[in-house]
Amino acid sequence: MPVGAKQAMSDQENPKPETESTTPTSPSERGQRDRGRRRHRQLPQHLEASINMEELRELIGLITDNALTDFELQREGFHVKVGRNPYPGRTAEAPVLPPVSENAMPSGAGSSAVSGVPMTTPPHPGAHAEEEASEDLGLHIVNSPIVGTFYRSPSPTADPFVRIGSQVKKGQVLCIIEAMKLMNEIESDGDGELVKIYVENGQAVEFGQPLFGIRMQ
Partner 1 sequence: MNNGTRRFRKILIANRGEIACRIIWTCKEMGIGTVAVHSDVDRDSLHVRFADESVCIGPAPSAQSYLNIPAIISAAEIFNVDAIHPGYGFLAESAYFAEICEACNIKFIGPRSSVIQLMGEKVEARRAMQNAGVPILPGSPDAITSEEEGIKLAREIGFPVIVKASAGGGGRGMRVVKSEAEVGHALETASMEAAAAFKSGDVYIERFVERPRHIEIQVLADEHGECVYLGERECSIQRRHQKLLEEAPAPMMTPELRQEMGEKAVAACKSIG
Q: Which residues sit at the interface with partner 1, rule CB under 8 A?
A: 88-92, 94, 146-149, 179-180, 204, 206-209
Q: How far is the CB of 82 from partner 1 (least distance, A)?
A: 19
Q: How far is the CB of 69 from partner 1 (least distance, A)?
A: 17
Residue with smaller CB distance to partner 1, 1 or 180: 180
Q: How far is the CB of 130 from partner 1 (least distance, A)?
A: 14
| Residue in 167, 64, 163 with CA at minimum distance from that of residue 119 | 64
Residue with smaller CB distance to partner 1, 14 or 91: 91
Strand order in the sheet with 192-197: 140-143, 210-216, 192-197, 167-168
Residue with smaller CB distance to partner 1, 78 or 198: 198
Q: How far is the CB of 89 from partner 1 (least distance, A)?
A: 5
Residue with smaller CB distance to partner 1, 4 or 148: 148
Instruction: Yes or no: say if 182 and 125 are a contact pair by the CB < 8 Å rule.
Output: no
Q: How far is the CB of 93 from partner 1 (least distance, A)?
A: 9
Residue with smaller CB distance to partner 1, 104 or 146: 146
The three-state secondary structure class of 7 is helix
| Residue in 90, 201, 209 with CA at minimum distance from that of residue 149 | 201
The three-state secondary structure class of 205 is strand
DSSP 120: B
Say how far apart CA 67 and CA 57 lie, in whole Å: 15
